[in-house]
Amino acid sequence: MDVTHILIILLVGALATYFSGDKWAPKVALLFGLAAFAGSICLLSQYNLANEINYVTLWIAKPKIYFALHADGLALAMLLLTTALTPIIIFSSFGNTYKNSKAFYALILFMTFAMAGTFLASDGILYYIFWELSLIPIYFIALIWGNGDAEERKKAVVKFFIYTLAGSLFMLVAFIYLYQKTGSFLIRELSQTDLSATEQFWIFLAFFLAYAIKIPLIPFHTWQAEVYQKAPTVGTMLLSGIMLKMGLYSVIRWQLPIAPMAAKEFMYVFIGLGIAGVIYGSIVALRQKDLKKLLAYSSLAHVGLIAAGAYTLTLDGLRGAVLQMIAHGFVVVGLFFVAEIIFRRYETRAIAEMGGIRAQSPKFTSMFMILVLASVALPSTFNFIGEFTVLYSLSQVNIWYAILGGTTIILGAYYMLKMFQHVMLGETNARIFADVTFNEGLTLVIIIAVLFFFGLYPKPIIDLITPSLENILTQVNRFN
Amino acid sequence: MNNILNQIGIENYIFLSVILFCIGVFGVLYRRNAIIVFMSIEIMLNAVNLLFVAFSTYHQDAQGQVFVFFSMAVAAAEVAVGLAILVSIFRNMDTIDVGNLKNLKG
Amino acid sequence: MDTSLVLVLLLAPFLGFLFNVFLGKKAGKSVVGIVGTLSVVVSFAITLYLFGNAGKEPVVVNLFDWITIERFNVKFGFLLDQLSILWLLFVTGIGSLIHLYSISYMHDDEKIHSFFAYLNLFIFFMITLVMGSNLLMMFIGWEGVGLCSYLLIGFWYKNQDFNDAAKKAFIMNRIGDLGFLIGIFIVGSLFNTLDFTSLKTIITTIDDINDLWIALAALALFIGACGKSAQIPLYTWLPDAMAGPTPVSALIHAATMVTAGIFMLTRLNFLFDMAPSVQNIIAIVGAVTALVAATIALVQNDIKKVLAYSTVSQLGLMFLALGFGAYEVAVFHVITHAFFKACLFLGSGSVIHGLHGEQDMRKMGGLKKTMPITFITMLIASLAIAGIFPLAGFWSKDEILMTAFHHNIVLWVIGSIASIMTAFYMFRLIYLTFFNSFRGTEEQKHHLHESPSLITVPLIILAIFSFFGGIISLPGHSWLNEYLAPLFSKVSHEEHTLGTTEYALMAIATIGAIIGIGIAYKKYLKDNTIPSEDAEITGLSKVLYNKYYVDEAYDAIFVKPVNVLSSFFRDAVETTLSALVFGLGKVTNEIALQGKKVHNGSVGLYLFAFVLGVCAILTYLFL
């Protein structure tokens, strides 16, 4: 199993899905998604044996751009997250029918291809290409298969597209500058360069703009809630479950090692921004009327905490951030799926129109409750591990960060339970709510099982990511 | 040939061609009849040609005069094409007033 | 052997939970109750066995590494020592009784299987809390019991008021939990371990100790304890939590979960001993809570609300003892309180059951004839909580007051006043409920009956313990102190020799209790006063009846502003930010629109620009 095979599987899968016709497309896509997951597992076992998974070949001679893929523990963890979530997301959409579904599912696989590439690429330009490539499918998915008024949707999606694209251009500029300076786009070289403090500052800032929009950090988040709401649930899952993590991953992989001095000097600003996002996101989520929007803002709060953890530049912070990224990926996919399940029955996302569902659907209620609890980081769920580690790292920098960031524990519980109360509890709803179907139940059960398993036994993931993070930290600390 | 330049100084040729060129420029800028604009362009062209010839004599070098032949030939072709365009514009729009030709508007 | 026993002890209730969740509906109501109860009884039996065979040395069971932090590992492990076994004894013991009671009490509820599932889950988390070998394991249980409390308070989820109460309990607890977490962070960074045994070794041997950070850690942990054990300022959730079914109030909100804070402080006694300033705070908070809650309880008319405030008040007394470093005294009161408060709640449940859901004492009265067993058991428990010799409450409360007297006379006075009030409101409750004539409807009167034996048997057992429970720690000859001695860093804690002062204090306490009972007797039995209707309450009583308007104040200070802020963010900030981003696009658009005007198609203009450009270039080149 070569690292390129994963990408080939996904790309071929996208084509095969497109040519298999509308009827077979979902199943073919699922098959290829699972194949990619199996491939990633193979890769993982190889990594455990041999330690380094590399693929390098010269792609363009001048400027020197390599087709360089590199899978260390961190990249593998993210690859596994991507390839594990993709089949779940595809499977979760089996209850819906989409017009022109062959294109729809092909785009999903294509997006997975681009995102997997982003996580694996170790050449700046290749990485940039994958990064931008992933934007194209989600643009079409949200635009064509989204919901709500078409004009409004177009406005939101185009805004998202241009906004993230514009941010990324600064990253490209930074890469070009770095190439002028070092003659290479390879992360291996870039993370060894000695840039002056001013250069680092500007490069850091250029990267930051790209990532802050993608993650998103406040105040660059305005595209998020609207696109989440307007995109079809599958698109929202892809966005929140995996695509957000591209930004966070890139912070750890590219931004910090290339410009560590700037990261250190302005650490307080960036941690502060992350924590401000936690508080702001939680408070805004409190009074949302739309279920998907509420979840979008909760996502904003969670990624704020993750980013704050990453910017502490401590092993605990980075580790907690990665753990929380994975945990959040699963839980947020689960929660958006819950929103979709309700939408399938009630055709609404307005919280005010729900309520009284619990009496009619005990299984659904239990699973929803568990996801809510995981989202508020109840100990013994995976999210607690991440949140605890991140908050601990923040407390090591300054205890006030931990206290302020810790308000997520209180506010998170507040908005999630309030939402749960208004969506699920109360007098039995007059409209019939059928309990989950087998497929829906299976999807949720898989997600919940993952959350609990790693909540009680996170060691495999910790062992997988720690060496790479230590590596990154030595690069970060090379100026000391 | 040199005695011609002795009789009338090279600077006079330059002045003349500058004046001709400026007349051409102003003609292009101020006149709105496309044909007159065209003629003004020809004047500008000829001002340059004159300069070519004058310097060719001054430098005792025939190259400049060869260029003039070239540019006269090209100008002739240009006139042919340009007039043809003008004719077709006139047929289509019943005017050759450049002020009315706004199809280039962005 | 130990490992498997511990695992069975832990997992038995969890298996009960799984059974009731997945098979409960099919299995039928009686099976659900039996399985639920048995699973806890199994744990109780194992605890008894461990209690009998326990050596002096604590047993540690580490399963695997759980969370890895750069500087330390947190193990998934359990610790069985005197403290945890003692706690397990009454958690599983009283738990078993309350499960038994619930079989009958909840029999008519259609969701009895989820009720038992939640109860079992609660016991499971409580065991985790008690047995955890480090702070984070304790935290699992800590949050877990909070979750169960949430689920059970909101058990009748069709009523949104109950759901609000449940949500409030969870969030209030989470405020405390944040404190707990911060405490964990500080402890972790100070000592590089969260393990109780290692912490004890380090803290008792370390020389250069950072007083400020230790005090902050202790304070943060105490905030956590405040949340769970309903102390000022985080106590308001507990009275609201009475929305849950009565067995839940008895088990979770009186006997077990709310004592978790005391458990934590006792567990970390070595840490709190290092922070005397925080101990003072604890003592003051405890005393004030005891008094404030007692005053509120004086005028409440809902039978469960009276008991709820009484619980808060008694917990305050326990914290008073903890603040003086008298951990074994607090533990003693925890145990006796568990007996008589569980008995009182179950008794009130029996009354409510008999009256088909009526909780207002103004509509009760004269029940002693129709419900004799309930009456007698509740009377014993009331005497115990009032501190009448020789019942359990007398000994434990007396020890607390004695400790207070030796340390701080003001706090002793406050505690004593709270005790007198306790006697008063408890007997107000007894007289209003069981004496005089029945004040409810005719139909209710017709249906009055003593509860079935599944309800009365637990009552009787608890009443017996409320009566004799005091023998585990008699002054001068305390089995409990000896049993717990290995836990504490200070060698001899509060070994009172029985001198004249002590006898005088006992006498004062008893007289105080009798005075309290006497006032209640005069007012509610002889004069037969019935508390006035809600609208007619005035003056100080009105303030007390409305709980000092603390809920309203919290609402105005915290909840409303956050919600207003939320609306402001949603409607103003979000739209502004969004407009800003769109604004960037609009500016670009506007520039294009303006630029477009230059391209007006006029060839003349183009030529003019061209000439101008050429001139500019020439000027630039040649000048």
- Contact residues on chain A for C177, CB-CB shorter than 8 A: 409
> Which chain A residues are closer than 8 Å to C570 by Cβ?
284, 287-288
Q: Give the CB-side neighbour count of residue C392, counting CA atoms within 13 A.
A: 24
Please indicate whether, in this complex, the C-beta atoms of B32 and C596 are within 8 angstroms of each other: no
| Domain-embedded: residue B87 | yes
Residue A184, φ and ψ in degrees, nearest 5: -155, 150
pLDDT given for residue C490 in this prediction: 60
Q: Is C75 helix (H, G, I), strand (E, B) or coil?
A: strand
From CA A121, how far away is CA A115, in angstroms rounded?
10
Residue B83 lies in a domain: yes
Give a yes or no: residue C450 inside a domain. yes
Of C68, C150, C577, the CB nearest to A222: C577
Task: Tokens for C127, please give them.
Answer: 């065991």
ipTM above 0.85, yes or no: yes
Q: State the DSSP string of A100-152.
A: THHHHHHHHHHHHHHHHHHHHB-BHHHHHHHHHHTHHHHHHHHHHH--S-HHH
Q: How far is the alpha carbon of C563 from chain B, nearest alpha carbon, in Å?
A: 51
Domain boundary among C524, C545, C566: C545
Both C378 and C520 in a single domain? yes
Backbone dihedral region for residue C73 (phi beyond 0: left; psi -120 to 50: alpha; all else: beta)? beta
- CB spacing of C601 vs B98 below 8 angstroms: no
Q: Which one-letter DSSP state was computed for residue A335?
A: H
Residue of C181, C189, C578 lying closest to A406 (CB–CB): C181
Same-domain pairing of C367 and C420: yes
State how many domains chain C has.
2
| Chain C positions in Cβ-Cβ contact with residue B27 (cut-off 8 Å) | none
* Chain C nearest CA to A101, separation (Å): 32
Q: Taking phi first (over 0 means left), then psi (-120 to 50 degrees means alpha), and beta for anything else, what does residue C436 get?
A: left
Of the candidates C140, C147, C573, the beta carbon closest to that of A373 is on: C147
Contact A249, A336 (CB under 8 A): no
Question: For residue C174, which residues of chain A lie inside 8 Å, CB to CB?
Answer: 409-410, 413
Reference A286, options C571, B83, C396; nearest CA is C571
Q: Measured between CB atoms, does A167 come within 8 Å of chain C?
A: no
Q: Which residues of B touch C604 (CB under 8 A)?
A: 29, 32, 98-99
C495 pLDDT above the threshold of 60: no
Helix (H, G, I), strand (E, B) or coil at C155: coil
Within-domain flag for C77: no
| Residue C461 sits in the same domain as residue C531 | yes
Q: How far is CA C461 from CA A86, C21, C419, in A?
A: 58, 30, 25
| pLDDT band of C385, cuts 50, 70, 90 | confident
Name the residue range of residue C487's domain.
290-545
How confident is the model at residue C535, as a pLDDT? 67
Three-class SS string for C269-303?
A: HHHHHCCHHHHHHHHHHHHHHHHHHHHHHCCCCEH
Residue C66 is given by DSSP the state E
Distance CA(C163)–CA(C241), nearest Å, equals: 10
Taking phi over 0 as left and psi of -120 to 50 as alpha, with beta for the rest, A288 belongs to beta
CA distance A457 to chain C (A): 6
* Alpha carbons C351 and B90: distance in angstroms, whole number: 107
Write out chain C residues lying below 8 Å of B102, CB-based.
600-602
For residue B52, the domain's CATH number is 1.10.287.3510
Q: Would C248 be classed as within a structural domain?
A: no
A387 touches C at CB < 8 Å: no
| Same-domain status, C501 and C483 | yes
Tell if the CB–CB gap between C604 and B105 is shorter than 8 Å: no
Residues of C in contact with A414 (CB under 8 A): 167, 171, 562
How many other CB atoms are there within 10 angstroms of residue A9's CB atom? Answer: 25
List CB contacts of A295: < 8 A, sequence separation 6 or more. A228, A240, A332, A335, A336, A339
Is residue C519 included in any domain, yes or no? Answer: yes
Q: Are residues C389 and C324 in the same domain?
A: yes
**Could A426 and C158 be called an inter-chain contact, meaning their C-beta atoms sit closer than 8 Å?**
yes
Task: Look at the alpha carbons of C42, C47, C53, C58 in this order and tell me if their dihedral is positive or negative.
Answer: positive
Q: Does C601 contact B99 at a Cβ distance shorter than 8 Å?
A: no
Nearest residue of C to residue A388, measured between CA atoms: C181
Strands C59-69 and C72-80: antiparallel
The whole-number pLDDT of residue B106 equals 56
What pLDDT was estimated at residue B2? 59
Q: Do C569 and A316 touch (CB under 8 A)?
A: no
Q: Which residues of C touch B105 (CB under 8 A)?
A: 599-601
Q: Is C606 on the interface with B (CB under 8 A)?
A: yes
Residue C280 burial (10 A CB sphere; 0-12, 13-18, 19+): middle
In a domain, B104, yes or no: no
| Residue C615 contacts B, CB cutoff 8 Å | no
Minimum-distance CB partner of A403 among C68, C174, C182 = C182
Within C209-367, residue ranges assigned H as helices are 211-228, 237-240, 246-250, 260-267, 269-273, 276-297, 303-323, 327-354
Residue B53 lies in domain: 2-99
Mutate to test the interface with C, among B21, B22, B23, B28 (most CBs of C within 10 A): B28
Kindly state whether A421 is in contact with chain C, defined as any CB-CB distance less than 8 angstroms. yes
Query: Which residues in chain A touch residue C64, judged by CB atoms under 8 angstroms apart?
Result: 457, 459
Across the interface, whether the CB atoms of C599 and B25 are under 8 A apart is answered: no
In whole angstroms, what is the distance from residue C255 CA to residue C101 CA?
15
Domain-located, residue C178: no
* CA–CA dist A365, A359 (Å, integer): 9
Along the 480 residues of chain A, how does pLDDT read in single tens digits? Answer: 688 889 999 999 999 999 998 888 999 999 999 999 999 999 998 888 876 788 889 998 888 899 999 988 899 999 999 999 999 999 998 888 888 889 999 999 999 999 999 999 999 999 999 999 999 999 999 999 988 888 889 988 998 999 899 899 999 999 999 999 888 898 888 888 888 889 999 999 999 999 999 988 888 888 888 899 889 999 999 999 999 999 999 999 999 999 888 888 888 999 999 999 999 999 999 888 899 999 999 999 999 999 999 999 999 999 999 999 999 999 999 999 999 999 988 888 888 888 888 888 888 999 999 999 999 999 989 999 999 999 999 998 988 999 999 899 899 999 999 999 988 888 888 888 888 889 899 999 999 999 999 999 999 999 999 999 999 999 888 887
CA distances to A4, A108, A220, C592 from A163, rounded to whole Å, are 31, 21, 9, 19
Which own/partner contact pairs does B26-30 have at CB distance under 8 Å and 24+ positions apart? Answer: B28/C607, B28/C611, B29/C604, B29/C607, B29/C608, B29/C611
C494 pLDDT exceeds 70?
no
Rounded to whole angstroms, the Cα distance separating B61 from B51 reads: 13
CB contact under 8 A, B98 and C600: no
Long-range contacts of C31-37 (CB under 8 A, 24+ apart): C32/C112, C32/C113, C32/C116, C33/C99, C33/C102, C33/C103, C33/C106, C33/C107, C33/C112, C33/C116, C34/C103, C35/C116, C36/C99, C36/C102, C36/C116, C36/C117, C36/C119, C36/C120, C37/C96, C37/C99, C37/C100, C37/C103
User: Distances in Å between the alpha carbon of B70 and those of B56, B65, B73, B76?
Assistant: 14, 9, 5, 10
Amino acid at site A298:
S
Nearest to B105 among C599, C608, C611 (CB): C599
Domain ends where: C525, C545, C565?
A: C545
**Regarding beta strands A65-71 and A53-60, do their DSSP bridges make them parallel or antiparallel, or are they unpaired?**
antiparallel
Residues of C in contact with A321 (CB under 8 A): none
A199/C contact by beta carbon, under 8 A = no
Same domain for C355 and C418? yes
B106–C606 C-beta distance less than 8 A: no
Residues C447 and C471 in one domain: yes
Residues in chain C with CB shorter than 8 Å from the CB of A470 are: none
At C356, is the secondary structure helix, strand, or coil? coil
d(CA C472, CA C481): 9
Task: From chain C, pick out residues whose CB is under 8 angstroms from the CB of B98.
Answer: 602-604
In single-letter form, the type of residue at position B58 comes to Y
pLDDT tens digits, C433-453: 888 777 777 777 777 777 888
Q: Which of C545, C566, C585 is the last residue of a domain?
A: C545
For A241-256, give one letter per residue: b (16+ CB within 10 A) or e.
bbbbbbbbbbbbbbbb
* pLDDT confidence of residue C480: 79
C614 touches chain B (CB under 8 A): no
B–A touching, 3+ CB–CB pairs within 8 Å = no
**Nearest one of A311, A312, A323, A310 to A462, comparing CA atoms:** A323
Count of pairs with CB atoms under 8 A, one residue in B, one in C = 31
Residue of A nearest to C140 (CA): A379
Percent helix / strand / coil, chain A, rounded to 5: 80, 5, 15
**Cα distance between residue C142 and residue C128, in whole Å:** 8
In C, which residues are within 8 Å of A314 by CB distance?
70
Stated as kind and residue range, the H or E segment containing A459 is helix A459-476
Tell whether the model's pLDDT for residue C429 goes beyond 70.
yes
Touching C: which chains, 3+ CB pairs < 8 A? A, B
| pLDDT confidence of residue A173 | 93
Let me know if residue B33 belongs to a domain: yes
C342 within domain boundaries: yes
Residues 6+ apart with CB under 8 A from A478: A192, A260
Torsion angle defined by CA atoms of residues B38, B41, B47 and B51, in that order, rounded to the nearest 10 degrees: -130
Taking CB atoms and an 8 Å cut-off, how many pairs form between chains A and C? 137
Which residues are CB-contacts of C369 (< 8 A; sequence separation ≥ 6)? none
Containing A420, the helix (H) or strand (E) segment is helix A399-424
Candidate from A468-472, B102-106, C593-597 with smallest mean pLDDT: B102-106
Smallest Cα distance from C565 to chain B, Å: 48
Cis preceding-peptide flag for A26 (omega within 30 of 0) = no
Cβ neighbors of A368 (< 8 A, separation 6 or more) are A338, A420, A423, A424
E strand or H helix that includes residue C16:
helix C2-22
Among B6-20, B74-88, C121-135, C356-370, the least confident range: C356-370
Name chain A contacts of C189, Cβ cutoff 8 Å. 395-396
Element (DSSP H or E) covering residue C101: helix C82-105
Residue C496 has pLDDT above 60, yes or no: no
* Interface with chain A: mutation pick from C574, C584, C589, highest number of A CBs within 10 Å: C574
| pLDDT of C534 | 67
- Alpha carbon of residue C438 to chain centroid: 34
C601 in reach of chain B (CB within 8 A):
yes
Question: Which member of B25, B98, B106 has the closest CB to residue C603?
Answer: B98
Residue contact A399–C182, C-beta within 8 A: yes
Gap from A56 CA to chain C (nearest CA, Å): 33
Instruction: Determine the residue type at C254.
Output: A
CB contacts of B32 in chain C (<8 Å) are 604
